[in-house]
Every structure is written in C-alpha cells, then in structure tokens.
Amino acid sequence: MAATENTAPNTPERDHPSRRLRLLEARLSAAPTTPPEMRVMSVAKQSAPPTPTPTDEVEDVRSFSSDSLSRPPTPAPSTNNNNVRRKYAPAPKAKMKKRKRQSPIFKSGRLDEFFKPVQDSPTRKKDPVAERSDSPQQDDYAYLREMIERLKTDNEMLKQAAGDAESLLAQNEDLRTQVEIEIPTLREQLEERDAELRKEREGVQRTKEELRSVLVSLARHERQEAARKACEDGERLGKPVVQRARTSIHEAWQDGYEWKHIQKDLVSIVDEKDSLEKRRKELMKRRSQLQKKESNQEVEMPPPPPVLKTNVPFEDTVEYCQEMEDVCRVQMQILKKQESVLQDTRQRLFKERDILVRELRRQSDERDSRFSQFLIMNDRYQLLNLLGRGGFSEVFKAYDLRDGRYVACKIHQLASNWKEEKKRSFIRHAMREYEIHKSLKHPRVVQLIDIFEIDENTFCTVLEYCEGSDLDSYLRAHKTLPEKEARSIIAQVFSGLLYLAEQQRRIIHYDLKPGNILVHKGEVQITDFGLSKIMNEESSTVDGMELTSQGAGTMWYLPPECFDTGGNARISVKVDVWSAGVILFQMLYGRKPFGHDQTQEKMFREKTVQHQELQFPAKPQVSDLAKDFMKKCLTRKASVRPDVRQTLMHPFLRKR
C-alpha cells in the first residue's frame, strides 16, 4: 500500500510541466557537450538522482504522457491520515507486476559505489574538481558549470599557447631568414679572422725563430768568449799538456807565465833573504872583532886626548857595523812583506787555476755532449750552454720559448751497456726525485717545472734556473767565509730543511753538501733530490725510518747512523742536521771536520766518522756560540741530536 501511494500518477510535483522541461533541457544540454566518461563520473559522484526513479512502467509512461501536460498540478503527497488524495481520489487497484530481484547495490540506489573510480597513487597530483564531496545535496548543474569553466580556462590556455607557438614560429622564421642573410657576412668575417690568426701565428713563429736565433747567437758568443778567456787564463796560469814517458802517455800541468814570474820572484826573494842574512852575520862577526880589538887597545895604551882624532875609516868602526845591521833588518822586513804579497798572489792563482781546470773540464764535456748543438727539447725548451755534468746527467742552461724565462734542463742518460736491473733502479731513483720534487714550492728549494722523455734511454727534468754557482765552487774561490756570512747561509739552509721536515710526508734530503746548495748574491737554494727519502706514516716511527741504502751519499757529510750495517739501522730528518753542521764547519775553517784528507773508501773502511773526535782549529777565530752550535749539530747519537726546529731555536741562528 505504501508503494502504491508513492507511485500515484497524479502527484503535482512530478507532473508539473516546468519540472519536466528543466529535466529535458538539462539532459539535452549535457548530452552533446559532456563526454561519456564525464557522465559516468557524474553518476559516480552523485549520491542520488535528482528525480525519483519510477517504480513501474505504467507510471513512467504516464508521467511523460501528453494528457498529463493539461492536467493541473497535484499537491505533494503527505503521510498524514487525512490525505485528500486517499480520501477523495483513491488510486485504482491494478494488478502489480512482480519485479525482478535487484542487486543490493541497485536496490540501495548507491550507484556511486559501483561506478567509483580507481583510487590515484599518493604521488599523483589530485584534481581539485574531481575531489568534490559525495553529498546527496550537491547540485549537478554547479558541478557541470565548474567543469565548463575549467574547460574554458584550459581552452584559453591552449589558445594562448597556440598563439605563443605561432609567435615563436614567426620569430624562428625571422631568425632563420636573418641568419641566412648574415651567414655569408659571418663566413667572410670568419675567413678574415682565420687569415688574421694565421698571420699572427706566422708572426709568432717568426718571432720565435728570431728569438731562437738570437739566443743561439748569444750562446755561441758565450762559448767563444769562454774559450778565449780559458785560452788567456791558460797562458797566464797554465794548461794541461800531454806528455810521453817512454811507452806511456799521461796528462801533466804546464805553468803559465804569471805563475812562472811569481815562482821566479819568490826564488829571488829567498835568495835575497839568504844574502841579507849572510851579510848580517858577517857584520855581526866584524863588529864583535872590532869591539874586541878596541878593548885590547884600550888596555895597552891610555886613551887619547879628546881633542885628537884618529885616522881610522868609518867603514871599519863598530858604529858602521851596527848601522848596517839595522839596514839589513829593515831590508829583511821589506822582503818578508814582498814575500807575503807573493804568497797571497800565489794562493789566488791556485784558486784561479782550480776554476780554470773546472772550466776546461766543462768545455770538454760540452764538446763531447750529443745535446750541445742547440737543440729544441719537447718543442719548447731551447738548449744553450752546458752548466755542469754529474755521474749520469748533464745540466744545460735553456730558455723556455712558451713562458719566456731561463730554465735548467737536467738530462738523465742511461748507459746502453747497463743491465735491465740497473736501468730500472736508476729510473726508480729519478722518479722518486720527481715525485718528491714536483710538490715542493719554497724560496729555499729549487722548483721542478716539467719532466718529459727524450728516448728510451734518456729523459729530462726542467728546473728553475738559478744565477751564480754552487757553494762548493764558492768555497773553492774564497777558502773560508766570515762568520756572519756563514751564519746567513746556514740559516737559509735550515729554513729549507724545516719546510721539508714539516711536509705531510716528511722528506729527508740525505745528500746535503756544498755541491747541492746554490748561492747567488747571498741567497741560497737547495737542489738535487736524487737520494731523498720520504718518511711514510706506515713505515716510520718516532726514531725514524729503516735505512735501506747503506753506502749511498757523500760520506764526508753523513752522520754515524748512515754507516750502520746492522739490520736495525734507522734514519730521520736529523741526518740533514748533521750534514748542515759539517757544511758550517767547512765554511768557517776551510776544511771538513771528519776525514778531510781521506777518500770515501778509506773513511768507510776505517770508520772515521764513528771514531774521530771533533776538534776546532785555532785559526781562524770562531765564536764560542758558533762552536756550541756545531757541537750540537754534530752529536753522534741521533736520539740526543736536536731536530730541525730545535736547531733553529739556537742563539747562534737567532743572533742579529
């Protein structure tokens, strides 16, 4: 009965024509514009249909029949018992068709649960329009208007994007046209620029060739000047000559004219001194005889009256003999002064002769070198003149054509008759020097610039060029140095050693000697790291690292621990402290403190460094502060010997 009352055909709200018209307009307006998927979404989001669903076919047809359009509106149904419709117009009791059993989903009318869309992933951006509430009171018309507004906004954006695209296409066409117009001009400008670059490159090449020509001309002139000076010095000081003695040929030294003059003057002075000494003795003898004779005459005869004068010549008097003795003494002093001057000149000539011998040896090595023809190394370094030659290396003065500065090229050569093991050992030492030296940048350490291979048995390291000479040549020329100058040099050496000792991987130079210290106008630089050692944290302890190269280095400058042949021999940066002490001793006294007149083999055999006592010569005079400094540096026990930083705190180096 309740169902019959709910489905009455004369309901005014259902049969009202304006309502049916609104439904038709809504369906017609939504049909062509809303896609199927959107309609499904609308149904899914809608919790209940906007109009009641008909309960049977009769009511559905009757609700949209034509006669119902002229029927007056029916008042809304009421649940009150005094219902006018039930009282005055009861519904006909028609036979009800049996309806099919519907699914619980359709029975409850919850179509939104059936057509519910798949949930989006949490990372996917959600549509604010699609997230509208599922409230049954939500108006479908508002939702569609919202969708329409959104589509209009998207449409406007697409139109704007299309307009921008058309504008960009137009600009692209304009740019393409402009580029096509400008390409020939740009190509001409590029060709002109290439031509200018070629001209500049050719100009740079010509300048480089001219610079190279000037450098080679200067180097040739320096060689000629050095050869001329050596020839003049050879005439003055002497030169080596080849002499034949029976079946053997040996080299001897022939003195020059200045040396011969000095020798002649010295012989003359010695002869003069002998003659003066002989005459002085004769005068003394004669004076004693005359005094004896006068004493005898005084005894035999009384003295003459003071008025009378004797007829004895003055040369036969005692007074004359005394005067001549004084003259001989003065002449002897003059001769001694002349002899002293000649001895000083002789010492100077000795030094000049040593320098000449080194220069002649250098020129001979330069002529014999296969790199003396002014070659260009690595297409960058123009070799000039030979600076020196070591055991297996040659050092040339060169010019860096790229950076425009003088450098020193150290060319390492491996002998062709060496065994492979010896070659590998030499290359290993050279690479160790390169690895140690390339990272060092300090004013007291010569900087390594470059390294490259020349051939399979030769490679070259490029070093910073330093004017002047090494300390060994400087000491040969000056013999000894004043204490103030020696202190300045050794303080700079310790400054470089402190830099090496404070590296992250501490460095032991191990071959510190005057030949590896460069001096120019009082400034010092340390070079030659061929025997240097790196103290790794893994292999080193508090007392140093293991010594694996007994016998290497220059023995006059090595401490006692370097001569230890046992398996527990250890070294540290204190090795360089000992070497610096030996160098200071040599600068002040002109001789080495240990084994000065011995060969290295004899020193190693007799263990001179381990047993010989340190003694300071009486001359020249050296301050007690300097002696104390050298004693501390030359402490035999390495554990007691101060390290580099402690040595720098000594008052001798801090004295100003």
Residue among 559, 591, 359, 567 nearest 481 (CA): 591
| b (16+ CB within 10 A) / e for 314-348 | eeeeeebbeebbeebeebeeebeebbeebeebeee
**Which of 15, 511, 528, 576 is labelled catalytic?**
511
Q: Report d(CA 55, CA 146) in Å as an integer.
A: 33
* Whether the Cβ atoms of residue 528 and residue 434 lie closer than 8 Å to each other: no
Q: Report d(CA 600, CA 608) in Å as an integer.
A: 10
H or E element in which residue 250 lies: strand 248-255
The dihedral built from the CA positions of residue 557, 558, 559 and 560, taken in this order, carries a sign that is: negative
Q: Report d(CA 620, CA 112) in Å as an integer.
A: 117
Residue among 406, 435, 395 nearest 534 (CA): 435
Give the strand pairing for 507-508 and 523-526. Answer: unpaired
| b (16+ CB within 10 A) / e for 73-83 | ebeebeeeeee
DSSP assignment, residue 311? -
Is 511 an active-site residue? yes
The dihedral built from the CA positions of residue 527, 533, 537 and 543, taken in this order, carries a sign that is: negative
Which two three-digit tokens encode residue 614?
Answer: 């340190």
Which two three-digit tokens encode residue 432?
Answer: 């160790």
410 is in an annotated binding site: yes
For 390, list phi and psi in degrees, rounded to 5: -110, -155
What are the angstrom distances between the C-alpha of 418 and each of 394, 414, 421, 423, 429? 18, 7, 8, 6, 15
Is there a cis peptide before residue 651, judged by omega within 30 degrees of 0?
no
Q: Report d(CA 308, CA 633) in Å as an integer.
A: 82
Helices (H) and strands (E) in the chain — how many of each?
20, 16
Residue among 88, 93, 20 nearest 54 (CA): 20
Q: Which residues contact 608 (CB under 8 A, 6 or more apart)?
A: 594, 595, 598, 602
Q: DSSP H helical segments within 369-458, as ranges?
A: 420-437
| b (16+ CB within 10 A) / e for 387-405 | bbbeeebbbbbbbbbeeee
Q: What is the dihedral of CA 283, 289, 293, 295, to 10 degrees?
A: 90
- DSSP assignment of 352-364 equals HHHHHHHHHHHHH
Annotated binding residues: 410
Catalytic residue numbers? 511
**Which residues belong to the annotated binding site for ATP?**
410
